[in-house]
Chains A and B, each alone.
Chain A
Amino acid sequence: GAGVSQTPSNKVTEKGKYVELRCDPISGHTALYWYRQSLGQGPEFLIYFQGTGAADDSGLPNDRFFAVRPEGSVSTLKIQRTERGDSAVYLCASSPTTNNEQFFGPGTRLTVL
């Protein structure tokens, strides 16, 4: 079946602009996670949803970052006033419940010029 999909695969933007990154989880998965992977590093947790609500947003670096999952399926990560330091690969993962394996998408590579 279809895995986790993320769009766009690449996004280039200018400093100060607003961006939205989309994640389509595996159908039926109730838990959804966002991670950020900087060059040469492992993924770092940003936020996790159980259903429609953000159960843990402790990894969001500051208030420029926000994520939603209004219908408990697709999620959007929103970054305001982008900075060059936001350049990274943003990974989305989903799992059937919180105690199951997390399945990762291919990521969105964000470049802020």
Chain B
Amino acid sequence: GNSVTQMEGPVTLSEEAFLTINCTYTATGYPSLFWYVQYPGEGLQLLLKATKADDKGSNKGFEATYRKETTSFHLEKGSVQVSDSAVYFCALKYGNKLVFGAGTILRVKS
């Protein structure tokens, strides 16, 4: 079936550290891939997306590249801020529905 696996958290970093959150997927065909973010007390928001192999999605300093060979879509940011503290969800789109990973809590300390 279609599924998403992402690294367990929480991930705790100091401000300005480099961030990687791993995400791998299993899917039939070539789905679109997404990263969603949920800030404390807020709803899910789309952070970035990629619709085909080798596409790179980017937003707010975050990047992720759609790697078909490794079925991965790892999220990276070169220098995190305290305001990036949130829960991050990797997802794929299968038909018209989104399939989410379990989420990774990121905590950034000043």
Interface size on B, residues (CB 8 A): 19
Which residues between 1 and 24 of chain A lie within 8 Å of chain B, taking CB atoms?
A: 3-4
Q: Is the beta-carbon distance between A106 and B96 smaller than 8 angstroms?
A: no
Nearest A residue to B32, CB-CB: A99
Q: Which of A3, A56, A101, A104 lies in contact with B97, CB distance below 8 A?
A: A56
24 contacts between A and B (CB under 8 A): A31-B96, A33-B96, A33-B97, A35-B98, A40-B103, A42-B89, A42-B91, A42-B100, A42-B103, A43-B98, A43-B100, A44-B100, A45-B99, A48-B96, A56-B95, A56-B97, A59-B97, A91-B43, A91-B44, A98-B96, A102-B46, A104-B36, A106-B42, A106-B43
Chain A residues engaging chain B, CB cutoff 8 angstroms: 3-4, 31, 33, 35, 40-45, 48, 55-56, 59, 91, 93, 98, 101-102, 104-107
